[in-house]
Structure formats: structure tokens, C-alpha cells
Amino acid sequence: MLETARQFRCSTVRPTELVEGLIDKIRDDSLNAYITLDEAGALRDAKKAETALSNGSDDTLVGIPIAIKDNICTRGIQTTCASDILKNFTPTYDATVVARLRDRGAIIIGKTNLDEFAMGSTTTTSNIGPTKNPWDETRTPGGSSGGSAAAVAAGLCLGALGSDTGGSIRQPASFCGITGLKPTYGSVSRYGLVAFASSLDQIGPMGRSARDVALLYDAIKGHDPRDSTSVPRGFPAINLEGTDIKGLCIGVPDEFFAEGLSPEVEQAVRQGISMFEELGARVVPISLPSVRYGVAVYYIIATAEASSNLARYDGVRYGVRKDGSGDLTDMYMETRSQGFGSEVKRRIMLGTYALSAGYYDAYYKKASQVRALISKDFTDAFKDCDLIAGPTAPVSAFGLNEMMDDPLSIYLLDIYTIPANLAGLPALSIPCGFTGDGMPIGMQLMAPHFREDTLLGAGMTFQDHTRFHEVLP
Amino acid sequence: MKITASEVLHVARLSRLKLNADELTRFQKDLNAILEYMDMLADIDTAGITASVHTTTAMNVMRPDTVRDSQELSETLANAPRHLHGTVVVPKVIE
């Protein structure tokens, strides 16, 4: 993005040319990364950007084409959540993050594919079919922000927004060889994000480098009175240049190198950690004893919140309606049974069960208590270190049809990403190597609340000394 | 089985979902496997632990109680499957 911003200013490329080129590429795209392309809007905004540039605008984001995950509302552009139940939904307002990007002169080029309602880790539960991994089209790009990750990796946009409830930005970033940030809970407004699990959801940026991700994060962060979970505090601008990681203490938890971790992923991540040591960081062993319960806790809390959030899809105020026998309850049931896919139904039912009479204490209350234990593990760990490092996912990208029949084995892939959501912490995935067959591997860094500056500074320093993020599919 | 077929049907009814026979079989099997996995939580000692509700310190955030513009009614209704005279239309509730 910085290079493109420079090119705009020395007139070697114009925003209109860039957008026209991207539109052609997206039309020919075999990856199925986009659900909707906003050709007219993007060209209109490219012309505006050219005017701004000729008037001397120095904002780096002017004219930069950004893709938006299709669960983030865009005024006048369909927002479907990759679900049949919202396939006719056109928001009448922009999400705060979209409005902030537009205010800075960025161009919204289109809406990217996802698992239906962001429920999944493969981008295969979408109602328009799976997105393919640009590194190998027989494999998944990860999910649920797989469309955004594939679009960034394949050069179908310059940066993207995703959402992350249990790893949905970081895991696809890792599978597609890009950089993705899940910010601190409450640091980025969720006004206009279609709710999945409200105590966990967070919007975040995805890009080719920590610098690009920092630029986007800087543009979207900050308090928003329209989101009551948005934290009312000052958010200083992120200034990465000159960041020094000498003396930075990086904690490495044993629990993140557990059974089920692919040896190739382990080796690449351990080499990445050694690289930090060579660059002057201090590495210390730490322990997070309760994170092994993370997946069980997450799939109770996330599904319970989802069952409540998705109750709004009833065919009354928006979305698709199916009439049924003419009775109101039957209309609700027909609408929801025909409108939701299997994974969404499975999660709604699991959440309804966990909240139902007789099971609430055993599931939801217990999970919320264990969640507090997991948060405490991190509070304790951050007394001894500034960042925590480990793998983003236990494996690299796998075949599109693998594991489709076993939801639990898919859920277990989120084991290393879920803890940051449960504790509300910021976490970054950066490329740190490749498997023997050429698939990208991601390393995850986690920081204390609101320490995105430390996180992105470490990511940038790593990328200044490695080339993994520059390799193209 | 941790969850019986009739419990699956009950939960589906609470969720306002209709299941066909195939879905019933599949969801019972899936939910059972997931609930068995979640049994690992049962043995953790959580006596005296306050359930986590918020992950940051923000609590009961209020905004100033001031008059401001809201969305036009036509925009609010723009996505409603059926509407008439400024209200959404649904099947008759009371006979």
C-alpha cells in the first residue's frame, strides 16, 4: 500500500487504472474470493481519489482499493453473510469501519466470501460455494475470512477487512501467507458488523505486511458512540518506524506446542522465535495451563451468543421470508429452516441447548467461569513477558473436502486462536515459513490489551529481516 | 448418547427450526460428539470463580441522552419482505 501511495504521487499509476486492472482480474478470478464487486462505486471513488491527489492530499489511504468481508454493512452494496437468508439484503448505512475508510479516501472495491455468518474455518459453508487457496486451488484458504485472505494474497485488492470471533482473521492469514490482526476487544467499532458472538467478535485488518495492517488498523480504530462495547479511551496513532525490539521479552507457552501440531509448522514457528532472539528479544518459557479448555469453552459461549443473535432472522424486518402454512410461527420456522445452512443450524441448536433450562449451569455458566481462568492465565503471563508467540494454527492449508463430515475436528483447528478472543487480547498472524509442498505457515503473536503498537512493531521488525511475506502465490 | 432424538427435536423447536429425518440423525450424532468433548469442563474446580462477562474494563457504557436524527422510515422498511402504511406485515397472530 505504501508503494502504491508513492506511485500515485509520482503519477506512474492512477487510481482509476489500478481499479480497472483489479476489476478485470476479479472478473477472471477462479478463486471465488468475492461475493459482490462494486464496479461503479469503485470507479466513482477512484475518480474522487484522483481529484484529491491532484489537490495534494497526503493521506496514504487515498485511492487504495480495499475489500470488505461480506458480514460488514456497506450502504447500497448487498451484504449477504454468504447466507440464503440475507441474499436480498442491501444495507441502508455503512458500518463505522467502512465509513472511516471512505473518509480517508480508500476505495471499497467489493465484498468478500466467508463461511455462512462467519461460522467456520474453511470458507466452504458459503451459499455461493467455497473460496480456493491461491497457493493451491485444491485447498482451503482457511476461514471464516477466507475470501478476504485469498483476495489479498492473490493481489485482487491491496488490503481487506475481516472479522475474528475465534481465529477468523488470523487462521486464513496464516493459510494464505499474509498478515492479519485481531485487535483488542473494544478497540474497533462493530457498528454495522453482523453479530455472531458479541463477547468475542472483532473486526480487523488483513494485508501483505505488518505496515499495511498498521495503516488500516490506524484508520478504523477508536471509540464509536454507536457501539456500546467500544472502549472510550484515547487511541494514539500507531507509528512503527524506529520500533526497536531489543530487550523485548517474548513468552513461549508449552501448551501451544501440544499434540496435534504439525512438525513442519512447529519447526517454522520455532525458527521464527529464534529469529526474534537473534534480533535482540529475550525468549522465556511461560505457562497457560487453562488454554487447553479453550475450544470447549468457546463452542459453548460462541454458540450460545449466536443462538440469541441469530434469533433476529425471522422473515419480518429484513432478509428472505418463506410463508409456510400461513401461521406466524410456521412462517418463522420455514424462513429459518430454508434460509440457514447446516453449520449455522448446528451452532444455533448447540447454543440453544447450552442455554436451555436444566443445562445452563453445566454449560454456559461453567464455560464463563473457565473463561475467567483463561483470562487470568494471560494476566499472569504478561507479568513476565511483553508478547506471547506460537503457531497460528496447528496445520497448514488442507484439501477443500477434508474433514467436512466431522465438525468437531474442524473446531479443534481453532485451538491456538480461540484464547485471544476469550481473553479479548490483540493477536497478529505473520508469515514465518513454508511447508515442503509450498504452503504458507503463520506465526501468532499476542499482546496485552491495547498493545497493538508492540505487536505490530514486532511484526514489522520480523518482516524487515525476513522475506516470507514477500513471496507471491 | 448425551442427547436423545426427542431432545434434539425439542431444541430445534426452541430454535424455530424444522428438521427432516436425515438432519435429525446427523445433528444428534454431531451434537453428541461435541457435548462429549465438552465434558472435560465438568471436572474443573470453579468454586468461587466469578463468571467472565466482559474481557475489558468497559461496563455499562452510556451515551449522552440527546435528541438526534434517526433513519428515515422508508430506509428502515427498505429491506422488509412485506410492509404497508409504514409498518411491517406479518401473518395474523390473534384470531
Instruction: List pLDDT tens digits, range A131-180.
Output: 999 999 999 999 999 999 999 999 999 999 999 999 999 999 999 999 99
- Which among A69, A111, A182, A221 is annotated as catalytic? A69
Whether pLDDT at B63 is above 80: no
Cβ under 8 Å to B: A residues 74-103? 88-90, 92-93
Q: Read off the pLDDT of residues A366-376 as tens digits, 9 standing for 90 and up.
A: 999 999 999 99
Nearest residue in A to B48, CA atom: A369
* Residue at grid coordinates 458480514: A71
Residue B75 lies in a domain: no
Residue A33, number of CB atoms within 10 A of its CB: 28
Pair A452, A445: CB distance under 8 Å: no
Q: Read off the pLDDT of residues A299-346 as tens digits, 9 standing for 90 and up.
A: 999 999 999 999 999 999 999 999 988 899 999 999 999 999 999 999
Q: How confident is the model at residue A243 (pLDDT cuts 50, 70, 90)?
A: confident
Spatial CA neighbour of A440 closest among A187, A211, A177: A177
Note the pLDDT of residue B58: 61
Interface test with B, best of A77, A184, A342, A352 (most B CBs within 10 A): A352
Q: How confident is the model at residue A196 (pLDDT cuts 50, 70, 90)?
A: very high
Q: What does the pLDDT average to over A16-27?
A: 97
Whether pLDDT at A266 is above 90: yes
Measured between alpha carbons, how far is A118 from A279 in angstroms, rounded to an integer? 37
Tell me which of A24-28, A218-222, A436-440, B51-55 is least confident.
B51-55
Q: Where are the beta strands (DSSP E) in A376-464?
A: 387-391, 427-434, 440-446
CATH code (residue B36)? 1.10.20
Residue B28 lies in a domain: yes
Task: Indicate if the alpha-carbon torsion angle B15, B21, B22, B28 is positive or negative.
Answer: positive
Whether pLDDT at A42 is above 70: yes
* Residue A225 cell numbers, joined: 458512540
Note the pLDDT of residue A307: 97
Note the pLDDT of residue A193: 98
Residue B20 lies in a domain: yes
Q: Read off the pLDDT of residues A96-125 as tens digits, 9 standing for 90 and up.
A: 999 999 999 999 999 999 999 999 999 999
* Residue at grid coordinates 459453508: A125
* Residue A130 cell numbers, joined: 467455497
* Residue A312 cell numbers, joined: 433476529
Residue B49 lies in a domain: no
Percent of chain A with pLDDT over 90: 90
Note the pLDDT of residue B59: 65
Spatial CA neighbour of A148 closest among A288, A283, A31, A39: A31
A356 and B61: CB-CB below 8 Å? no
Amino acid at A123: T
A69 included as an active-site residue: yes
β-strands A65-69, A159-164: how paired? parallel
Note the pLDDT of residue A313: 97
A168 included as an active-site residue: yes
Note the pLDDT of residue B17: 97
Cβ under 8 Å to B: A residues 201-260? 225, 228-232
Supply the range of the domain harboring residue B31: 5-41
Nearest residue in B to A425, CA atom: B55
- Which among A83, A121, A126, A168 is annotated as catalytic? A168
Residue B24 lies in a domain: yes
Q: How confident is the model at residue A59 (pLDDT cuts 50, 70, 90)?
A: very high
Note the pLDDT of residue A165: 97
Interface test with A, best of B55, B60, B69 (most A CBs within 10 A): B55
Rounded mean pLDDT of chain A?
96
Q: Read off the pLDDT of residues A124-144 as tens digits, 9 standing for 90 and up.
A: 999 999 999 999 999 999 999
Q: Is B40 helix (H, G, I), strand (E, B) or coil?
A: helix
Q: Domain A2-246, what architecture?
A: Alpha-Beta Complex (3.90)
Of A225, A370, A449, the CB nearest to B56: A449
* Residue at grid coordinates 443473535: A309
Whether pLDDT at B57 is above 80: no
Pair A203, A222: CB distance under 8 Å: no
Distances (CA, A) of A308 to A244, A292, A349: 45, 26, 11
User: What is the H or E stretch that residue A267 is in?
Assistant: helix A263-278
Percent of chain A with pLDDT over 70: 100
Number of domains in chain B: 1
Whether pLDDT at A183 is above 80: yes
CA dihedral A393, A394, A400, A405 (to 10 degrees): -110
Q: How far apart are the first and last CA of chain B?
A: 42
Q: How confident is the model at residue A244 (pLDDT cuts 50, 70, 90)?
A: confident
Q: Is the pTM value of this prediction over 0.90?
A: yes
β-strands A249-253, A387-391: how paired? parallel
Q: Read off the pLDDT of residues A201-212 as tens digits, 9 standing for 90 and up.
A: 999 999 999 999
Cβ under 8 Å to B: A residues 387-426? 407-408, 411, 422-425
Q: How confident is the model at residue A15 (pLDDT cuts 50, 70, 90)?
A: very high
Q: What does the pLDDT average to over B41-68?
A: 81
Spatial CA neighbour of A397 closest among A152, A171, A145: A171
Which residues, in sequence order, are CB contacts of A124 under 8 Å at separation 6+? A115, A130, A140, A143, A400, A404
CA dihedral B45, B46, B47, B49 (to 10 degrees): 150
The domain segmentation of chain A, as residue ranges, is: 2-246
A345 and B15: CB-CB below 8 Å? yes
Q: Is the ipTM of this complex over 0.85?
A: yes
Percent of chain B with pLDDT over 90: 67
